[in-house]
Amino acid sequence: MHHRDLNHVALHVADVEASCRFYERVLCLRPMPRPAFTFPGAWFRLGSTQELHLIGGRAHDVHSGNRGNHYALLIDDMDAWEAHLRGVGVEFLPRRLRPDGALQIYVKDPDGHTIELCTAPVPPAP
């Protein structure tokens, strides 16, 4: 018995349309088909096999932060992402260097969910 992969991350959001605009425009995620549930929501592709599921109707406060509840997206070019975020007018925490050599920044979606954008760790020298 084994876990094969992370399938999806689900987030409660107050305004599905506003969240969709953020995830498409700011994080450049691709929308994907969603089954005909009886509640509002939207699905997005995360990488090649994972998904982000937005579930509408959030009524409770969001408790999220860079050292608390968040999820991370592995990115390829930190300079390009920082320029993109500035270009679309989205604030983010300044770049940090992790002890393993990865770079990371954090943004918040319209509901206050924290998303980390990080590069891959630097392989140790031989």
Fold (CATH) for 8-118: 2,3-Dihydroxybiphenyl 1,2-Dioxygenase; domain 1 (3.10.180)
> Per-residue pLDDT tens for 41-81?
999 999 889 999 999 999 999 999 999 999 999 999 999 99
Q: Could you tell me the residue ranges of all domains in the chain?
A: 8-118
Assess contact for 113 and 62: CB atoms under 8 A: yes
Residues 6+ apart with CB under 8 A from 3: none
Return the percentage of the chain with pLDDT > 90, whole number: 90
Whether the model clears a pTM of 0.95, i.e. scores above it, the answer is no
Determine the 3-state secondary structure of 84 from DSSP.
helix
100 or 122: which carries more pLDDT confidence? 100
